[in-house]
Amino acid sequence: MDRRDFVKIGLAAGAAGSSNRVLAGPASAASKLGTGGILDAGVWEQQQMMEAGKLTSHSLTSQYLARIKTIDKSGPRLNSVIEINPEALRIALDMDRERNLKRVRGPLHGIPVLLKDNIATADRMSTTAGSLALAGVRAARDAHVTAQLRAAGAVIIGKTNLSEWANMRSTHSVSGWSARGGLTLNPYSLDRNCSGSSSGSGAAIAAGLATLAVGTETDGSIVSPASICGLVGIKPTLGLVSRSGIIPIAHSQDTAGPMARSVADAALMLFAMAGVDPRDPVTQEGAGKLADYRAALDKGGLKGARIGVARNFFGQHAERDAVIEKALLDLKSQGAVLVETDVPNVGKYDASETEVLLYEFKADLAAYLKEYAPNAPVSNMAELIIFNQQHAQQELAYFGQEYLERSQAKGGLDTPAYQEALANNRRYARAEGIDKVMKEHQLDALVAPTGGPAWLTDFVNGDHDTGGFSSPAAVAGYPHITVPAGYVHGLPVGLSFVGAAYSEAALIRMAYSYEQATLHRRAPQFPPSVRI
């Protein structure tokens, strides 16, 4: 589908329309359940108001910036936004001028967006992955994802905090903490963790600090914080969204993806982010596979869908499982056919996944620094390790850098051990994993709990989550969507939909149908702790 055709569909009252016409779009779960008014509304509601002349991008951006001051930098002090874009209001004014001239770029025109602080922006903001080693370092050019969002008319209002180096620094890490940004707090219980590594993106969107955010994932870093923060998160197929300009862990698994308060918003953002990038060869595999995700927003999308229930990802948390069992009944009530099954061979790539990440992290980080941060004080993994040792009081105060040291000890990507580990991952996650079970049972998707409810943040013992469903899709490079499914003692848990490569449209259709039938999301109230 041509992007210009999508713009015409998404904004029927846009460039050629009258200024007093109002957009027609899918209802947003966020607008129905949120308590933050326009700040908790979705893309369609905000666009309707702007098209009707009742709201401007400048006003909306101003309100979000004020809310960041109130909620993020004081009050509950979530600490989810690591840096504000000093040009945000100017960009918003530019989008308003374009709208007044009937030049509406698409559904994201004038919509405020936050980017995770490992996504390069060639502006006055830094791109640091939360590390003091890159503090103040401005990227040489935009990441492809950043450029795509700017072209779609999005207003990038700031960067979000994250688990430092996307949680690939220590075996004993605390998710949501970075030396540059500190600790991000969970808006559903301030003493609990947001999970990682897209912690700030999750907390910020849950708290209504922007309309949309971009997260990144290697294994779980979009879907886990989205689930724990009561959001929709989409980890796309590897190759649908460019990796260029994103501070890497591993090119065989890294991808950016949307985090939003509704499936509709996430779908619109995914279309804007995706596309072929000459700097990223894997996106050639996705050429021609970008679908009209708005057309997938079908309330009847579960009717007749064959869904495999991945039972080997149940059993780790009884109360969470009870929530998901109710979700399974909701899927059936919407017409889905449930098939009891397991995802095969999931334990056969646990060790090889880590090996691949360690090899690729060393090589990919050096390549990123050379192209996007040539003036940084570090240029490779070895220099980063030394920097952290020299700044141990700030960088190593709570946990070490074991993964960095193990990565540095690895050889190049021509090492036989690396090639064998990568082949093992692809065999057992793809052909003898997701592909096998879906073919055998003729499935449209697999479902399971995304993960458990948020755990207490613990700087002594580190993270102690209750497991999750992220690894099969992450290692395979296949799409994964999480949707709010309910609560355990007021803490959100999500339901995951996983499918074959480039099945985003089908997954969005099913996820949207489930979301609209249940409407579980509730805005957070920032309690200091869980009341039981």
The answer to the question of residue 394 being in a domain is no
Convert the pLDDT of each residue in 290-328 to its tens digit. Answer: 998 999 999 999 999 999 999 999 999 999 999 999 999
The pLDDT tens digits for 92-119 are 999 999 999 999 999 999 999 999 999 9
39-55 residue pLDDT tens = 999 999 999 999 999 99
Q: Is 410 a catalytic residue?
A: no
Sheet holding 445-449, edge to edge: 81-84, 155-160, 112-116, 212-217, 255-260, 232-235, 480-488, 491-498, 445-449, 306-310, 337-341
Q: How far apart are CA 526 and CA 348, in angstroms?
A: 40
Q: Is residue 26 part of a domain?
A: no
**From 126, 131, 163, 197, the catalytic residue:** 197
221 is catalytic: yes
Which of 57, 198, 201, 221 is the catalytic position?
221
With a cut of 70, say whether residue 3 has pLDDT above it: no
Please indicate, yes or no, if residue 363 is contained in any of the structural domains.
no
Q: Are 515 and 263 in contact (CB under 8 A)?
A: yes
Q: Report yes or no on 384 lying in a domain.
A: no
pLDDT at 22: 31
Confidence of residue 26 (pLDDT cuts 50, 70, 90): low
Catalytic residue among 116, 159, 362, 410: 116
Say if CB 75 and CB 69 are below 8 A apart.
Answer: no
Output the average pLDDT for the chain: 94
Structural domain that includes position 177: 3-16+37-348+422-458+470-518
β-strands 445-449, 306-310: how paired? parallel
Percent of the chain with pLDDT over 70: 93
Q: Among positive and negative, which fits the CA dihedral 120, 145, 222, 200?
A: positive
**Domain count within the chain:** 1
For the record, the structure tokens of 178 come out as: 């970075």
Question: What is the domain-level CATH number for residue 209?
Answer: 3.90.1300.10
Nearest to 52, CA basis, from 17, 23, 20: 20
Structure tokens at 192: 């609990």
**Is residue 464, in this structure, part of any structural domain at all?**
no
Active site residue 197: yes
**Residue 347: burial class (beta carbons within 10 Å; 0-12, 13-18, 19+):** exposed
Task: Note the pLDDT tens digit of each residue in 123-164.
Answer: 999 999 999 999 999 999 999 999 999 999 999 999 999 999
> How far, in Å, CA of 505 to CA of 498, rounded?
12
CB–CB of 167/175 below 8 Å? yes
CA-based max dimension of the chain = 64
438 within some domain: yes
480-488/232-235 β-pairing: antiparallel
- Residue 412 belongs to some domain of the structure: no
Q: 401-459, pLDDT tens digit by residue?
A: 999 999 999 999 999 999 999 999 999 999 999 999 999 999 999 999 999 999 999 99
pTM of the entire predicted model: 0.94
27 assigned to some structural domain:
no
